[in-house]
Structure 1
Amino acid sequence: MARFLVTGGAGYVGSHTVLALVERGDDVVVLDDLSQGHRGAVPPGVELIVEDIANTRRLQEIFASWHFDGVLHFAARSLVGESMREPLLYLSENVSNTLRVAEAAIKSGCKRFVLSSTAALFGMPDRIPIDEDSKLFPLSPYGESKLMAEKGLEWAHKIHGLHWSALRYFNAAGADPKGRLGEDHDPETHLIPLAINAALGIGSELTVFGDKYDTIDGTAVRDYVHVTDLADAHCRILDRLEAGHGGCYNVGNGTGYSVRQVIDAVERVSGRPVPHRIGPPRAGDPPVLVASNERLRRDTGWSPRYASLDDIVSTAWAWRSSHPNGFDDAREKGSPPEGAAAPLAQAG
């Protein structure tokens, strides 16, 4: 049995990946400060350590207490708009915290490291679909912070022999098909949950940013990859790193859907209208962002199991409609999930 540390494992993609690791028989320890994650998202039986990864002393203690076979690093600030208002915060926290975790891993003898990265590295892409050799030109401090983190990990590989990979997500979407986990952000910024919230009457109507793009219906086209498929990609990359292989991989469906197509899918799945209005386009928004996932397919045998838009929306709708307030407040703020170990006390 392998043991993995998952930072940010109480968050959206992190928790689904933790679930995938547990289901294949791995031992998992989650490190999360719960500033964005949810205690209720940590699967039963998984050790949860509530701590800020910027606490270097505590981080070193954690690596000294367990032998980890690998690290999956999800913990990060991830809002593009916020990064445009707080650039130094994003650049300092995302980069330094990634390197803190990598350094602790190296010192403990842990040689496998998977970074949660982003398609925001590509900015305005020079070709569609976007492959790993496309030009890297982030248009936000968030994207820049992830690029800097990748560069730091490459130096850790060259000098310390760290085997690392970065998975550059496009648009993570959907929820656990068995309904155990889902997407619960505050604030919510992703299109599919915003459209579902609008259909449920939660919050305000959906704003469509622009309808005059040169696309199939005038609205922007994006690549949506199911969060369970993302989790599967992380597991496969961990196995690949055991043999010393690394590198960066784009993780997307390979198919683009427009904003209007997403709205139509939510209405089709839910049987409810999605109240929406047309707003002005956002500065710097590319008309089309679609991934090439050929390298990931070739190197790991990965392929999306939930590839259709209706499959993605159906799982998201099932979870959100049964959890209109997200993860239960009492469960999150009170005791840990049934069967889970109590969190360790925070260092003073």
Structure 2
Amino acid sequence: MKNILVTGGAGYIGSHAVRALIRAGYQISVLDNLSNGFAEFVPKGVKLFKIDICDPKELDAVFCEREFDAVMHFAGRLEADLSMMHPEEFFYVNCVGGFNLLETMRRHGVSKIIFSSSAAVYGEPKSIPIKEESDLKPINNYGRTKMIFEQTLEMYRASYGFSYVSLRYFNAAGADPEGGIGERHHPETHLIPNILKAAKGECDFYLFGTDYETKDGTCIRDYIHVCDLADAHVLALKYLENSDVNISRAEIFNLGNGSGYSNREIIDAARRVTKSNFKIIKKPRRKGDPSILIADSQKAEKILGWKRNFTNIDQIIETAWKFELSK
């Protein structure tokens, strides 16, 4: 298997996965409408199809132009808070667009897919750390659309023999130490890049929610470096490659560091890295934010042989800070 289509490959996590796939010897094509991605994140020599997955005719044209052995699917909406205000947009892109992709794959005989899922499918977990068999009870519409697409993948496995790996990762953070790509969203809703913008003096920093039932009243999250996530995607692809071609595969893996940091602890770490004592403005909770999300990633370690190279939060933030300063 060599020819891989990466949807959302000009975005934050997708662009890091593209670099990892190229290093692993794969031939890559990127499909991205650039609504949340950037053409400059796509390496030179990689074909970029500026296509929207919600347009089945354009999707079909891509699959007619090139043959693919597998798809790595990152394209979609990701802002949990906005999903509560505009559920129709998230359903349309994440579910309808995802369905268009699966149907196009089916028509063209492509049956292997790696899906960029999320810990948001779990909602407020009953126990920590979270295992893959934990109940799926998302509390925001973003998580609901991820869950719906996972269920759709299982339908296509059972009915059409698709093989898939769904990677439920927790809070992606950091940037490629080699530079050139990193986290950039418009609008930016993620904690670490907003902290770093405040450290640069570009904006105020808003801390949403200080009344959670946690050690310091703020949300606790499991931060995983984006390059470690990219490595996991390559390993997942190799897992499908090495599977019996006559047997459809379905696996789900959590990807996290296995340790949680509160928002206040992330602020403290960012202050250490940036040497900036930026101002904090407290705000009420955002709708759809769980209190605590921490991953149990032992399954990925055991089955995929996945190992994390970035385990220290200061180290993770340092790579993000380097990218932020380069912008």
Instruction: Give TM class, smaller chain.
Output: over 0.9
Alignment-derived partner of residue 339 in structure 1? none
Instruction: Indicate yes or no: 2:90 matched with 1:90.
Output: yes
SS of the counterpart of 1:208?
strand
Alignment-derived partner of residue 179 in structure 2? 179
Alignment-derived partner of residue 219 in structure 1? 218
Alignment-derived partner of residue 206 in structure 2? 207
Q: TM-score, normalised by structure 2?
A: 0.95
Output the CA distance in 2 between the equivalents of 1:190 and 1:22.
28
* 2:193 partner letter: P
Output the CA distance in 1 between the equivalents of 2:85 and 2:220.
26
> Are 1:266 and 1:274, in contact at CA under 8 Å, matched by a contact in 2?
no
Following superposition, the deviation at residue 284 of structure 1 comes to 4.6
Q: Deviations over 1:4-41 (max 9, x none)?
A: 00111111001110111111211100011111110111
> Are 1:175 and 1:228, in contact at CA under 8 Å, matched by a contact in 2?
yes
Alignment-derived partner of residue 270 in structure 2? 266
* 2:169 partner letter: Y
Alignment of 1:189-200 (within 5 A): 189-200=189-200
* 2:300 partner letter: L
> Are 1:263 and 1:274, in contact at CA under 8 Å, matched by a contact in 2?
no
RMSD of aligned Cα (Å): 1.4
Output the CA distance in 2 between the equivalents of 1:274 and 1:19.
34
> Are 1:6 and 1:14, in contact at CA under 8 Å, matched by a contact in 2?
yes
Q: Deviations over 1:194-216 (max 9, x none)?
A: 1100000112x212223343433
Following superposition, the deviation at residue 113 of structure 1 comes to 0.4
SS of the counterpart of 1:115?
strand
Instruction: Tell me how many residue pairs correspond in the alignment.
Output: 322
Alignment-derived partner of residue 251 in structure 1? 255
Alignment-derived partner of residue 51 in structure 2? 51
Q: Deviations over 1:225-276 (max 9, x none)?
A: 1000110111010111121533211111111011111111111111122321
Instruction: Indicate yes or no: 2:281 matched with 1:277.
Output: yes
Match of 1:309 among 310, 313, 324: 313
SS of the counterpart of 2:71?
strand
Output the CA distance in 2 between the equivalents of 1:207 and 1:189.
10
Output the CA distance in 1 between the equivalents of 2:62 and 2:274.
44
> Are 2:54 and 2:97, in contact at CA under 8 Å, matched by a contact in 1?
yes
* 2:143 partner letter: G
Following superposition, the deviation at residue 87 of structure 1 comes to 1.2
Alignment-derived partner of residue 236 in structure 1? 235
Following superposition, the deviation at residue 169 of structure 1 comes to 1.6
Following superposition, the deviation at residue 289 of structure 1 comes to 1.0
Output the CA distance in 2 between the equivalents of 1:215 and 1:80.
21
Alignment of 1:23-42 (within 5 A): 23-42=23-42
Ranges in structure 2 where 5+ consecutive residues have no aligned partner: none
Following superposition, the deviation at residue 280 of structure 1 comes to 2.5
